[in-house]
Amino acid sequence: MAKQRSKSDLPTKMCPVCDRPFTWRKKWADCWDEVKYCSERCRRGRSGDGD
């Protein structure tokens, strides 16, 4: 069996919208370098303050 990594060993980035750290996810394995936002909500709300 493969040895599991603990969450603290995974790479992290800071979200430019909410300024919170987010951690690598398996679904981002192929595109981690392009990931900029922690969620769809932050990605959609990146350009303005609101309505």
- Is residue 34 in some structural domain? yes
Is 3 part of a structural domain of the chain? Answer: no
DSSP state of 4: P
Mean pLDDT of the residues in the chain: 86
Is 13 in a helix, a strand, or coil?
strand
Residue 47 lies in a domain: no
Give percent of the chain above pLDDT 90: 67
Q: What integer pLDDT is reported at residue 1 of this predicted model?
A: 62
Structural domain of residue 15, as residue ranges? 10-38
Q: 13 and 22 in contact (C-beta within 8 Å)?
A: yes
User: Does residue 2 lie in a domain region?
Assistant: no
pTM: 0.69
Calculate ∠ Cα 1-5-11, nearest 5°: 140
Answer yes or no: is 51 within a domain: no
DSSP letter at 44 equals H
Is 28 a domain residue? yes
Report the number of distinct structural domains present in the chain.
1
